[in-house]
Amino acid sequence: MKASALTLFELNALVREVIESTFTTCYWVEAELSEVREVRGHCYMELVQKDLFSPTPVARASAKCWKSRWALLRPKFEQTTGQSLHAGMKVMLKVAASFHEAYGFAWIVQDIDPTYTLGDMARKRREIVRRLQQEGVFDLQKELTIPLFAQHIAVISSEQAAGYGDFCRQLADNELGLAFEPQLFPAVMQGDQVEPSIIAALDAINAEADRFDVVVIIRGGGATADMSGFDTLALAENVANFPLPIITGIGHERDESILDMVSHTRVKTPTAAAALLVDHLAGVWHHVDDCQRRMTTCVSRRLETAHARLERCAGRIPTLFSLVKVRQEARLERLSTQLTALIQGQLGGAAARLQQLEALVPTLAKQRMTDEMHRLERTQLRLRAVDPQLLLSRGYSITLHQGRAVHDASQLKPGDEIETRLEHGTVRSTVNPIHHPS
């Protein structure tokens, strides 16, 4: 070993002396947390600074906050910001340089400025709100209407959360005994899995959206820190575009989260969300009950008016009936008199006409018989003129073949039997071959 060589411990001791003599004060530093963990009450952080135009870190460092200091800084930070330290958060730390021979260099955290983190959170929230407004979805939920009979409720919450139990009890124990049917869609409500877990639950509800009237996202019974999961663009877009009204009651007193801003209605606690639904349905029930009373009153009045009118009409019926009866009897009497006169007039005219016809019948009958006798005589004369016997008496004969008169010799053929009728007697003969003159 050369005489000038140092041991590693000696070298690190020299570095420690240099650092302690050079960095004699504390420094405020802006950085982003890439990792945060607690070990036996101490807080260990990994700090990074990223390039403006890429996510690549341009600087890294380790920081530590010892248990005694961390016990004071943590409650103050979480109470002010409403969140716990987590990866991705920007912080302003008051640090002092420290170098240990065995553990190397680290920045020792002396203080944390929560207002810086609040400012960065507010900037991110403003950017998300701006994006949502540019997309035209920021107020979409406000345009929806909670149905009158909102009884089927999809609940997104941690199954073990006390707030979920309070919500269900508040619904079940309402004074009017109104019936609700909540169905739980479990989700992680704290930590890095808030966003993907709630989005998955919304997707499951959307798959059967027709079964539900409203969605309730509730969180309660735990620490109010670490609310960053409710301030993400992806979750806000899913909630804003959801087809059912969404009520949020995530149990914190600080300013609204982005989730609260885009939801239909924001309340502070799960029990307040249940009270809202109970009051809404109670208002509908009271309105229906009021309408029922008004309808009953209106119908009763109409029935009373109709009954009174009916009684008045019933009282007038005997008088009206008597008047109508007298009028109809007089009318029937007039019609009877007119009918009798008409029948008598018709009978008188028919009797006179009958007498006239009786006087004309003998003359008409005699004239008709004379005309018919003359017509009969003319017919007999015509029959005598065409009598075949008269022709036969004049020397003519009639040749018949098969009972019919023969007018043309060509109608006959050799061998045909013919009958010749004379004035006195009949001659039968057979036709011989006929010779026609050439």
Give the residue-averaged pLDDT of 30-47: 93
298 domain-assigned: no
One domain, residues 222 and 139? yes
One domain, residues 44 and 133? no
- CA dist 424 and 397 (Å) reads 10
Task: Kindly report the pTM of this predicted structure.
Answer: 0.55
The segment with the largest mean pLDDT, out of 14-23, 66-75, 87-96, 245-254, is 66-75
2/202: higher pLDDT? 202
- Report the half-sphere exposure of 425 (CA within 13 A, side-chain side): 2
One domain, residues 71 and 213? no
One domain, residues 135 and 260? yes
- Choose the final residue of a domain: 66, 97, 117: 117
244 domain-assigned: yes
398/435: higher pLDDT? 398
Q: Is the pLDDT of residue 24 over 70?
A: yes
342 domain-assigned: no
- CA dist 272 and 163 (Å) reads 10
Q: How high does pLDDT run on average in the chain?
A: 87
One domain, residues 100 and 155? no
Q: Is the pLDDT of residue 171 over 60?
A: yes
4/370: higher pLDDT? 370
352 domain-assigned: no
DSSP bridge partners of 60: 48
- Choose the final residue of a domain: 117, 141, 171: 117
Contacts 24+ apart (CB under 8 A), 199-204: 199/234, 199/235, 199/238, 201/156, 202/156, 202/238, 202/239, 202/242
Q: Is the pLDDT of residue 224 over 60?
A: no
- CA dist 130 and 283 (Å) reads 36
Binning pLDDT at 50, 70 and 90, where does residue 326 land?
A: confident
Give the residue-averaged pLDDT of 222-226: 50
Predicted local distance difference test score (pLDDT) of residue 53: 67
CB 76 within 8 A of CB 114: yes
Q: Is the pLDDT of residue 403 over 70?
A: yes
**Phi, psi (rounded to 5 degrees) for 46:** -115, 125
Q: Is the pLDDT of residue 255 over 60?
A: no
Sign of the dihedral defined by the CA atoms of residues 282, 286, 289, 291, in that order: negative
One domain, residues 69 and 188? no
Give the residue-averaged pLDDT of 318-322: 82
Q: Is the pLDDT of residue 122 over 80?
A: no
Question: For 254-269, where are the alpha helices, taking DSSP H only?
Answer: 258-262
DSSP bridge partners of 429: 418
One domain, residues 20 and 149? no
Q: What is the CATH number of the domain that holds 41?
A: 2.40.50.140
296 domain-assigned: no
248 domain-assigned: yes
Give the residue-averaged pLDDT of 252-267: 81
Binning pLDDT at 50, 70 and 90, where does residue 355 land?
A: confident
Nearest CA-CA partner of 93 in 180, 30, 152: 30
Which distant-in-sequence residues (6+ apart) come within 8 Å of 131 by Cβ? 233
Predicted local distance difference test score (pLDDT) of residue 434: 60
Give, for 294, the enclosing helix (H) or strand (E).
helix 270-385
45 domain-assigned: yes
- Angle CA 188–189–191, to nearest 5: 85
264 domain-assigned: yes
Q: Is the pLDDT of residue 175 over 80?
A: yes
Give the residue-averaged pLDDT of 245-269: 84
Predicted local distance difference test score (pLDDT) of residue 65: 95
Binning pLDDT at 50, 70 and 90, where does residue 312 land?
A: confident
pLDDT tens digits, residue range 283-299? 999 988 888 899 988 99
Give the residue-averaged pLDDT of 400-422: 85
Give the chain's domain count.
3
Q: Is the pLDDT of residue 242 over 90?
A: yes
- Segments forming the whole domain that contains residue 260: 127-284
Predicted local distance difference test score (pLDDT) of residue 321: 81
- CA dist 4 and 102 (Å) reads 22
Lowest model confidence (mean pLDDT) among 316-320, 373-377, 424-428: 316-320
- CA dist 423 and 23 (Å) reads 182
Predicted local distance difference test score (pLDDT) of residue 252: 61
One domain, residues 146 and 280? yes
One domain, residues 160 and 34? no
- Choose the final residue of a domain: 80, 95, 117: 117
Q: What is the CATH number of the domain that holds 239?
A: 3.40.50.10550
Which distant-in-sequence residues (6+ apart) come within 8 Å of 361 by Cβ? none
Residue 355's CB: how many other CB atoms inside 10 A?
10
One domain, residues 152 and 265? yes
One domain, residues 65 and 205? no
One domain, residues 35 and 81? yes
Give the residue-averaged pLDDT of 203-220: 93
Predicted local distance difference test score (pLDDT) of residue 324: 84
Percent of the chain with pLDDT over 70: 94
DSSP bridge partners of 109: 95
